Amino acid sequence: MPTIPIPNFQTAFRQKALQGRDLQLRRLTTADAPQLTTYANNPKIAANLMDRFPSPYTVESAHWFINYAAENEGESVFAIDRGEGLIGVISLIFKPDIYAASVELGYWLGEPFWGQGIMSKAIGLIVKHAFEDLQHSRVCANVFHVNSASQRVLEKAG
């Protein structure tokens, strides 16, 4: 089956970072593996993500994901960084065919950073990127009904 090119993906991929006032969304690097492993290896995070998110989350999982993020044209993945290194991950998952105008938002944040308003800011940056830079007309997110914190963060982000 031929690969369907994602509109404007190369533009997104070349953009190394999205800069906010007090945080940056940047591409993952191999140097992120230790922090990615530390924060992602949390059953509270895994319980609210897709089945593809491994639990336990090992350093091998981190290296696999960093390579995936660098090579996969179906998703644009960013590290959430406030200056001390990766503290979470946020991504846009591109949809094929008639859904190509839409992107799906995915995200998680290390537990020590919960409740600080970080994710609302990160969502604001990536949604602006999706609409303004990538020219998508819809951004959607799926949240488990038991994840009220994620529901609130989406509401807060607008």
What is the distance between the alpha carbons of residues 115 and 39, in angstroms, rounded to a whole number? 15
Specify the DSSP class assigned to residue 113: G
pTM greater than 0.75: yes
Place of tokens 């089945």: 51
The CATH fold of domain 29-157: Aminopeptidase (3.40.630)
Q: What single-letter amino acid sits at 108?
A: W
Domain boundaries, the chain: 29-157
Strands (E), the chain: 17-19, 24-26, 75-81, 86-94, 102-109, 138-141
- 3 state DSSP class of 158: coil
- Over its length of 158 residues, how does the chain's per-residue pLDDT go in tens digits? 344 445 555 444 455 689 999 999 999 999 999 999 999 999 999 998 888 888 999 999 999 999 999 988 888 999 999 999 999 999 999 888 887 888 999 999 999 999 999 999 999 999 999 988 888 889 999 888 888 888 998 888 87
